Chains A and B, each alone.
Chain A
Amino acid sequence: MKRSILFVAFVVFVMGLAWSQPGHAADTIKVGIVDTYTGPATSFTQDTLDGFKLAVDKINAKGGVLGKKLEYTTRDEKFKPDIGLAMAKELVMKEKVDVLAGTINSGTALAVSDFAKKEKMPFFVFYSKSEKIIGEKGHKYVFNMNENTEMAGRAAAFALAKKPYVKYWIAGDDYEYGHAIAEAVWKNLQKQNPKVQKIGESWWKLGEADFTPYITQIMAAKPDFIIVATGGSGMVNFQKAAKATGLVQKIPFYQHTANELGTLLPQGKDAPEGVWGTSNYFFYYPETPANKAFADDFKKAYNRYPKASAFVGYMTAQFIAEGYKKAGKVNTEAFIKALEGMSLDSPVGPLAIRACDHQLELPTYWGITKKDPKYDFLISGDIQVIAPKDYMPTCQEVLSLRK
């Protein structure tokens, strides 16, 4: 009997404690960020957050948004979608944020997107690459600020279609992301170059550390080219194995983000040369004053070079700020209308949020890994810029998925 009092008393006490925390003051605009800051994904998400922070500091230094300070608060979901969703709910219902942003985990992103739709809360996805976010499960409150698997696939296909390779092998992480990327590349490659043939496939478990058996299997089949659909830490692991087995010298292969800083930096000078990849941002290319300024600012603030995820975070903050400025008030519907079609100056030139599906139109850079005496890590050489219009799915294609 006493336990029931204690139980209720305990719960009420703690809730009272928590309730006494204020929501947010009316003179700020608050962004609630749910992301994974533990585990292997942290390498990317930390950069997204830092890029976001950099932009927020700049915006506030210039007087904020509509006279209000732009604030943000983060929650670590530890790559668990149920925790991520609970945290998003807490941010909306208790912290009373104006805007939600996050997360690298596609499951969480989809769940939160669904929640955002019900709550009519703008949700900016940075770094989850599922094409469902803007496609099948898209709606007017969600914005995708980075590329998705369909886009990456099309860009790669665009570049590969012009190459002389005919016999392809497809390999990758045996889970949704891996299959989605591989599908996207292959499907589009076939359309653009009907001569290509798939001579085999290999799929390994997510987090696989030992690729040697798969590599030997692939080398035995002697394809012209390999499409490797890895993500996260699999990128580095595969590249290490490719170097150790000499694969990289025998058969050319491609991975999405193979030539991106996040993949090449940890390996330092030991990363393999000659790997093809696509990336959506390099701090060293294009060598515009704006890009150099951004990279320098980032390096000064955080003592490292910005990765693509930093760029995405940086631009997201700016779009949020400019969206409210153009709307003239802190009103969601006006905010969304203002953002549709909005184009902002970025370190790599003007970028726009496409009105029909709320996808940020990013350039994709196709390139090959190469050593550079200026840096302790490899960079991307032979860079070919693929403009959004050349590879992004059309409005009609995307919207037709939303039935």
Chain B
Amino acid sequence: MATGVLSGKGRIWWIVALVVLCLVPLVLPRFYVYLLSIILLYGLLAMSNNFPLGFGGIYQLHHAVFYGIGAYGTALVITKSGLSPWLAFLIGPLVATALSLVMGLICIRLSKLYFGMLQISLGSLVWAIVYRWYSFTGGDDGIHGISVPDIISSYKGAYYFTLVITGVCLYIMYRILKSPYGSALQGIRDNPVRSAMIGVNVKRHQLLALIIAGFFAGVAGTLFVVVDNTVFPDMMFWTLSMEVVIMCLLGGWLTFMGPMLGAAMIVLIRTFVSTYTVYWALVLGIIFMLVIFFLPNGVLGWIVGLFKGKTNLAEVKE
């Protein structure tokens, strides 16, 4: 599984893609730079969701909580304490990691849909507290005008920062998946009973997956603060979690880059369909139905399947 991506010919294409993405701000107008930043960070969020979801087989249904908490953590540190924003960028993801550890410990004893529902309940609890604690978090007004260091406060600056961080995170995630731990995790997804029998500590592996996912979600939240300088309680609401799961499913949850593609699709469709009609939710819903019907493995899964005959099996699963 997931071999060959960074070897030989594969590597060249990745470098090309990276170069293109670096050149984008120099050729495209501001709006697209902003849009790409948003796509990248939602892509990171979706990929972090897919870590337990697609590769771990865990029903991670309320991932947005970690994203939101990471964002709020960063935002609150910047606006309420005198600490340097760079420190805030570290604290945000750490808060998200801590929360995912706590929630993970509570939820991990359950499996499948029950795990998902308990996570939703706990996550909703966290949301409710943030939403209600008006004096501290600004409640449903959110927090605005969060100041970030000058070097990354322009659209280009924010974009490059997002690109670098996202790239690094994706690379780390990829290496984790390729490591023995990653193989064990996927083994647990495919057959938990057998994995346990050969001595794999199922729960501990799953818990680790949750923590890793939470950390990267927190990073995505921090990136949102850098790009948009605002936070809202909506960022940790269950409807966003559902959207992120859909990004994974749409793009292809058994592939590595699928969720990033899903994120790109949803952001682009939402942005451009809304210039034509108010009913962009209807359009989105119909597109989802079509994908489910005809592309059960998601868009990227389908594309990869197209090449299935031509390349060897090991590369297919990428």
A residues adjacent to B (C-beta < 8 A): 1-8, 10-12, 14-15, 17-19, 21, 37-38, 73-76, 78, 80-83, 85-87, 89-90, 93-95, 106-107, 110-111, 113-114, 130, 132, 137, 174-176, 179
Q: What are the residues of chain B within 8 A of A132 when measuring CB–CB?
A: 141
B278 touching A1, Cβ below 8 Å:
no
Cα(A10)–Cα(B36), bound, Å? 13
- Chain B interface residue bracket vs A: 35 or more
B140 touching A107, Cβ below 8 Å:
yes
B264 touching A11, Cβ below 8 Å:
yes
A15 touching B32, Cβ below 8 Å:
yes
A107 touching B281, Cβ below 8 Å:
no
B294, CB-defined interface residue at 8 Å: no
Given A93-B29, A176-B134, residue A38 in contact with residue B142 (CB < 8 A): no
B290, CB-defined interface residue at 8 Å: no
B140 touching A85, Cβ below 8 Å:
no
B14 touching A4, Cβ below 8 Å:
yes
Cα(A3)–Cα(B16), bound, Å? 12
Q: What are the residues of chain B within 8 A of A7 when measuring CB–CB?
A: 17, 257, 260-261, 264
B175, CB-defined interface residue at 8 Å: no
Binding site of B, secondary structure by majority: helix, strand, loop or mixed?
A: helix
The digit string for B3-41, where 1 denotes a CB below 8 A from any CB of A, is: 011000110111011001100000011111011101100
Q: What are the residues of chain B within 8 A of A6 when measuring CB–CB?
A: 303
- The 8 Å CB contact of B229, one of A18, A74, A114, A179, is A114
Given A14-B272, A110-B142, residue A82 in contact with residue B234 (CB < 8 A): yes
Q: What are the residues of chain B within 8 A of A130 when measuring CB–CB?
A: 141
Given A14-B272, A114-B144, A175-B139, residue A3 in contact with residue B20 (CB < 8 A): no
- In the assembled complex, the CB of B222 is this many whole angstroms from the nearest CB of chain A, namely 15
B100, CB-defined interface residue at 8 Å: no
Cα(A179)–Cα(B133), bound, Å? 13
Q: Which residue of B lies closest to A174 (CB)?
A: B132
- In the assembled complex, the CB of A129 is this many whole angstroms from the nearest CB of chain B, namely 12
The digit string for B117-136, where 1 denotes a CB below 8 A from any CB of A, is: 00000000000000110100
Q: What are the residues of chain B within 8 A of A12 when measuring CB–CB?
A: 20
- In the assembled complex, the CB of A20 is this many whole angstroms from the nearest CB of chain B, namely 11
The digit string for B71-87, where 1 denotes a CB below 8 A from any CB of A, is: 00000000000000000
Q: Which residue of A lies closest to B310 (CB)?
A: A2
Given A3-B318, A110-B142, residue A85 in contact with residue B32 (CB < 8 A): no
